[in-house]
Chain A
Amino acid sequence: MTAPKPLALVLILLCVVLFGLSILVGPAGLSMGDTLRALFLGQGEAATLVMREIRLPRAILAVLVGASLGLAGAAMQGYLRNPLAEPGLIGVSGSAALGAVIALQTGLVAAWWLALPLAALAGALVAVLLILLLAGPRGSSLTLILAGIAVSALAGAMTTLVLNLSPNPFAASEVVFWMMGSLSDRSFDHVLVALPFMLIGWVLMLSLGRALDVLTLGEDAAVTMGVSSIRTRMFLVLGIASSVGAATAVAGAIGFVGLVVPHVLRPFVGARPSALLWASALGGAIMVLAADLAVRLILPDRDLKLGVLMAIIGAPFFLHLIYKTRGEIR
């Protein structure tokens, strides 16, 4: 059940190249020799600080966040058997954002920086509990989507309420900027907070490969072929909540990756849901690395937000894809 090897090689190569570029590019204007010496040998105090404390965690987070979003997108589309599904559907990103916004607004963040990612993770957890309560461990995938939409709407409304009650415009703008999603000024602490949750999520979602393959034949056929619908649904919801919740906690809301990446890579893996899982993880990492590079290259001094750029590029690109393949989607 592996995908074509050339694709894996190309994706890994792209990932490595972009990771390298991500480390080399930045406002400090270091030469390539300086950056590598600083990174590996610790030569040059300021340069080492820039490399090890700023650029390296940023690049690592881009990979982790991208992989989480891409993988979650592929898992969600596979489970719902719908190319328009995306991880945000079950309301985890919205609820994680709400948790973060509350942490920002109440000033908890000023007291303790970890408050923000932890509040976001708590938000994701509440979303999962609500969804499982609403949709139950049994029930159809339609109930799951409806529960997700309800939770998303509630989280969105609460976020707006927090903004509405914001004591001053500065607090409000801080929240708004955070919600645009970004990877700038992140440290290794962010990596350490997010990594365990992401890993758990990845393991849960990658273990669904075979079940998602069989679901191609519909739920009835899948169940009679030994797939447990309860296990599949639990792993999916918990996997997405854990990894996407963690991604939102450290990077804010970044859309389109989970929607576009599986869609683009599907033809290259013969449309096989299991192969699409890891391909989309790599593809997501590539997309976020590239977008985060673009953010730094296009408007270096204006702090262009990653989520904004992603939507500006992602939406037209997606429209183009739909236009190109409109005959094939049925």
Chain B
Amino acid sequence: MTLLAIEKLTVLRGECPVVDHVDLSVGPGECVGLIGPNGAGKTTLMRAALGLERFKGRSSLADMSAPDRARAAAFLPQSRQIAWPVDVETLVSLGRVPHLPRGGALSTADRDAIEQALDRLGLDGFRQRIATQLSGGEQGRVLIARALAQQTPLLLADEPIAGLDPAQQIATMQVFAQLAHEGRAVVVSLHDLGLAARHCTRLVLMHQGRVVADGQPEEVLTPDLVAQVFGVSIWRQDSPMGPVFQPMDVL
């Protein structure tokens, strides 16, 4: 069973392909780290997979009807938008909208999903706070909670941990790994190679619109590939807590 199947997906900006013949398939239990330098096409790939961009090729999510898609995959956009000064609980409860019957109110199951999402991101004490008055990182976590409340088999998150403090970055990656462990799937784009290697079950490395490597973190983060794609050297050390990857110098 696959939760996301992308075949030969290409997105053109004018003549220039920003995503170029990408094949990707994600199944339950996977926490896929989407890595690559700025402009590699990570965001465009996610948006196209969801049908937010025109593309050539095929994406299983884009083929679905809008209501079905909203129950199959949640998307966390890179830009953190909260337009109105609503409280945190209200904002997170928006994640339940795809599950509500027409004109219906929140059910007990909906309430549970909201509680669980708040709990997973440690937002219990923030419930009544006005979301727009929180710090950037806190807003980021509230929006992740919104996506979790949607309780979809698949979560696509575009740089969700950018701007979070180290503890929150790790905690968030652990939440994603936990979701995968529970049989759901997560595709997360990020720039921190160390965190990606430590918490993802699989890494997909993009460069100039193409997937150049796809596999276990150790297979993808080889010195050669990292040097070629990111232009940095990487230091690897096997520790009792698993392999550690640290980018070192610009080459």
B-binding residues in A (CB < 8 A)? 1-2, 81, 210, 213-218, 220-221, 223-228, 266, 270-273, 328, 330
Q: Are A226 and B77 in contact (CB under 8 A)?
A: no
In the complex formed, the residue of B with least CB distance to A216 is B83
Q: Is the CB of B77 within 8 A of A218?
A: yes
3 nearest interchain CB pairs? A218-B81, A226-B70, A81-B83
Report whether B150 and A225 are in contact in the complex, using a CB–CB cutoff of 8 Å: yes
Contact with A along B62-103 (1 / 0, CB 8 A): 000011011101111101011111110011001101101000
| Contact of A225 with B70 in the complex, beta carbons under 8 Å | yes
Q: How many chain-B residues does the 8 Å CB contact rule pick out?
A: 34
Given A224-B50, A225-B70, A214 contacting B94 (CB threshold 8 A): yes
Contacts of A224 in B (CB 8 A): 50, 52, 69-70, 73-75
* A270 B52 Cβ-Cβ under 8 A: no
Given contacts A217-B146, A226-B66, contact A266 B84 (CB under 8 A): yes
- Known A224-B74, A225-B97; contact A218-B83, beta-carbon cutoff 8 A: yes
Known A271-B84, A330-B132; judge A225-B94 contact (CB<8 A).
Answer: yes
Q: Are A271 and B85 CB-contacts (below 8 A) given A224-B50, A226-B97, A226-B98?
A: yes
Determine whether the beta carbon of B87 is less than 8 Å from that of A270.
Answer: yes
Which residues in A have their C-beta under 8 angstroms from that of B95? Answer: 225
Q: Which residue of B lies closest to A276 (CB)?
A: B84
Chain A residues positioned under 8 Å from B74 (CB to CB): 224-225
Q: Are B150 and A271 in contact (CB under 8 A)?
A: no
Main secondary structure of the interface of A (DSSP, over half): loop
Q: Decide yes or no: A213 and B94 within 8 Å by CB, A223-B52, A271-B86, A273-B84 being known contacts.
A: yes
From 185 to 220 in chain B, residues with beta carbon under 8 angstroms from any chain A beta carbon are none
Is B143 interfacial (CB 8 A cutoff)?
yes
Q: Is the C-beta of B1 less than 8 angstroms from some C-beta in chain A?
A: no
Q: A214-B94, A218-B81 are in contact. List 17 more A-B contacts (CB 8 A).
A: A2-B105, A213-B97, A216-B81, A217-B143, A218-B79, A220-B79, A224-B50, A224-B70, A225-B70, A225-B74, A225-B94, A225-B97, A225-B98, A226-B66, A272-B84, A272-B90, A328-B85
In the complex, B8 has a CB within 8 A of chain A: no
Chain B residues near A266 (CB, 8 Å)? Answer: 84
A16 smallest CB distance to B (angstroms): 26
Contact A272 B86 (CB under 8 A): yes
Chain B residues lying within 8 Å of A273, measured Cβ to Cβ, are: 84
Cα distance A272–B52 when bound, in Å?
Answer: 26
CB distance from B86 to the nearest CB of A (A): 5
- Which residues of A are found within 8 Å of B75, using beta-carbon distances? 220-221, 224
> Which B residues touch A1, using CB under 8 A?
105
Digitize B132-143: 1 where CB-to-A-CB distance is under 8 Å, 0 elsewhere: 100000000001
> CA of A228 to CA of B67 in the docked complex: distance in angstroms?
9
**B47 at the A interface (CB under 8 A):** yes
Contact of A216 among B47, B91, B150 (CB under 8 A): B91
- Cα(A224)–Cα(B146), bound, Å: 13
Nearest B residue to A221, CB-CB: B77
- Known pairs A270-B86, A271-B85; A217 contacts B66 (CB<8 A): no
Question: What residues of chain B lie closer than 8 Å to A215, measured between beta carbons?
Answer: 83
Residues of B within 8 Å of A210, CB to CB, are: 97, 100
CA distance A81 to B84 in the complex (A): 8
C-alpha spacing A160/B43, complex, angstroms = 49
Taking CB atoms, residues of chain A closer than 8 Å to B86 are 216, 270-272
Pairs A–B under 8 Å by Cβ, sample size 12:
A213-B94, A216-B81, A216-B91, A218-B77, A223-B52, A224-B52, A224-B70, A224-B75, A226-B67, A227-B66, A270-B90, A271-B86
Give the residues in chain A near B150, CB-CB below 8 Å.
225
CA distance A213 to B83 in the complex (A): 10
Nearest chain B CB to A52 CB, angstrom units? 37
Distance between A328 CB and nearest chain B CB, rounded to angstroms: 7
Give chain A nearest CB distance to B107 CB in angstroms. Answer: 13
Q: Considering the chains assembled together, what is the distance between the CA atoms of A1 and B103 in angstroms?
A: 8
Most chain B beta carbons < 10 A, residue from A214, A217, A226: A217
Q: Report how far A266 CA is from B75 CA in the complex, Å.
A: 28
A221 to B132, CA, bound (A): 17
Chain B residues with CB under 8 Å of A271's CB are 84-86
Q: How far is the CB of B188 from chain A (nearest CB, A)?
A: 15
Q: How far is the CB of B6 from chain A (nearest CB, A)?
A: 16
| Inter-chain contact A216/B82, CB cutoff 8 Å | yes
Nearest chain B CB to A261 CB, angstrom units: 16
